[in-house]
Copies of this chain bind each other. A is one copy, B any other.
Amino acid sequence: MKFRVGILGATGTVGQRFVQLLEGHPQFEVTALAGSERSQGKDYADACVWRLPGDMPASVRCLKVEAPCVPLDCDLIFSSLPCDEARAVESKFARAGYPVISNSPAFRMDTDVPLLVPEVNYEHMSLIGLQSTASQNGGGFIITNPNCSTVMLALALAPLHVRFSVEALAVTTMQALSGAGHPGVASLDITDNLLPFIEDEEEKIERETLKILGHVAQSKIIDAGFAVSAQCNRVNVIEGHTAAVRVKLSRAATLDEVRETLGSFTSLPQKLGLYSAPIHPIIVRSEKDRPQPRLDRDAGHGMSVTIGRLAHDPVLDYRFVMLGNNTVRGTAGSAILIAELLVATCLVSSPSLS
């Protein structure tokens, strides 16, 4: 028997990714879809212009799109609501007893809300118990999925930080169009062009990285204590965020140690054999011109981060180029992995609402 899943913001690009990735999932079944007023009351097939290659899964075509209101017929909520709506709606669901996994920035920096990358800081799930809703009303709570660039960055830094203690991080991103949703970036603005600015992105990376890599002490997160600099650019790539990374380490590390530390990294999701967990969360390639978005974004079914061009850096200690799939590992895939971790660790009990 599968967990019944509801998706808030179901007709958007992230919502569509959720629907696509959950098709055929062994543990989850989409039973509720919520969207904006324009969509409500329509069948999903009519409400949603499907923009992913391949057809909309048959199983959801006739689901009615509902308002994002309690109750929804599901055990678990994935939310990809816009930030301005997310705060009110998601807390309403949490208060009503739903576990909510949110892609919105609304709650990410709240002290009692985990900002979770399953391979990196699964211990932060303990924060859930601090949420007032968790102990009442049937145990609802909110877990947030970080900013898409930050998920990948945290994944690449985690093993380095554990072993060598990161002292400074300078990252320059070249981010894909799908990160902006649809319609998102106007074609006139990006053809034969790039944009050296993404609203709030640098701030999110500089802020969220430190929370994710922080540790829990006395029921709160102590942020990691290193300097982070992010410069973010939008480039003419459909999918796959690339980042040029430079990192300074507190402890001495040889190039081979750094490579081995990255390439051999696995964590709890791999140990638990979670369905969406990639065998290799980090793939280190040795070709001189990889990673490339079009060639590497689907590595590990979009859940692996690919690193290449690892080398000593004359200014900080090491540099490399990193690439990850922003809508899978960066957004919907990571959120589903969080849900799988919740199930595996019995933090979601099914069927809570039936």
Give A contacts to B, CB under 8 Å.
13, 51-54, 168-170, 172, 174, 177-178, 182-197, 206, 227-229, 231, 233, 235-239, 242, 244, 246, 288-295, 297-298, 308-309, 313-316, 319, 321
* In the complex, chain B residues whose CB is within 8 Å of the CB of A168: 315
Which residues of B sit under 8 angstroms from A54, Cβ to Cβ? 298
B188 with A186: CB separation less than 8 A: no
Contacts of A291 in B (CB 8 A): 196
Whether B174 and A194, one on each chain, are in contact in the complex, defined by CB atoms closer than 8 angstroms, is yes
- With A53-B294, A186-B187, A193-B294 already in contact, the answer to whether A172 and B231 are too (CB < 8 A) is yes
Contact B193 A292, beta carbon cutoff 8 Å: yes
Q: Cβ of A183 and Cβ of B182 under 8 Å apart?
A: no
Q: Which residue of B lies closest to A236 (CB)?
A: B236
Tell me whether B188 and A182 are in contact (CB under 8 A): yes
What 9 A-B pairs come out closest when comparing CB atoms? A183-B186, A172-B172, A229-B315, A197-B289, A193-B294, A196-B321, A231-B244, A187-B187, A236-B236
Q: Is the CB of B170 within 8 A of A316?
A: yes
Q: Would A188 and B196 count as touching, CB distance under 8 A?
A: no
Closest Cβ of chain B to A337, distance in Å, is 21
Which of B178, B229, B246 sits near A188, CB closer than 8 Å?
A: B178
Find out whether the CB atom of A321 lies under 8 angstroms from the CB atom of B231.
yes
Chain B residues whose CB sits within 8 angstroms of the CB of A239 once the complex forms: 192
Give bound CA distance, A295 to B51, whole Å. Answer: 7
A177: which B residues are within 8 A, CB to CB? Answer: 187-188, 191
Decide: A314 near B229, CB < 8 A? Known: A189-B187, A190-B187, A244-B172: yes
What 14 new A-B contacts, CB under 8 Å, besides A53-B298, A236-B236? Answer: A13-B188, A170-B170, A182-B189, A183-B183, A184-B186, A185-B188, A191-B192, A193-B293, A195-B292, A196-B244, A196-B291, A227-B314, A229-B313, A235-B235
Question: Which residue from chain B places its CB closest to the CB of A181 in the assembled complex?
Answer: B188
Do A238 and B188 touch across chains, with their CB atoms under 8 A apart?
A: yes
Whether the Cβ atoms of A170 and B315 lie closer than 8 Å is yes
Selected contact of A184 from candidates B170, B187, B289, B292, CB within 8 Å: B187
Q: What are some 28 contacts across the A-B interface (CB < 8 A)?
A: A51-B189, A53-B297, A170-B246, A170-B313, A174-B174, A174-B194, A174-B235, A178-B188, A183-B188, A185-B187, A185-B188, A186-B186, A186-B187, A187-B191, A187-B236, A188-B238, A191-B192, A192-B294, A193-B293, A194-B292, A196-B289, A196-B292, A196-B309, A196-B321, A227-B315, A229-B313, A229-B316, A235-B235
User: Taking CB as reference atom, which chain B residue is nearest A174?
Assistant: B194
A53 and B184 contact, CB distance less than 8 A: no
Cα-based distance from A174 to B244 in the complex (angstroms): 11
Closest B residue to A193 by CB, please name it.
B294
CA distance A255 to B214 in the complex (A): 31
Distance to closest chain B CB from A16 (angstroms): 12
CA distance A233 to B193 in the complex (A): 14
- Using Cβ atoms and an 8 Å threshold, which residues of chain B touch A188? 13, 51, 177-178, 182-185, 238
Chain B residues positioned under 8 Å from A293 (CB to CB): 192-194
What's the minimum C-beta distance from A47 to chain B, rounded to whole angstroms? 15
- Contacts of A237 on B, CB cut-off 8 Å? 191-194, 236
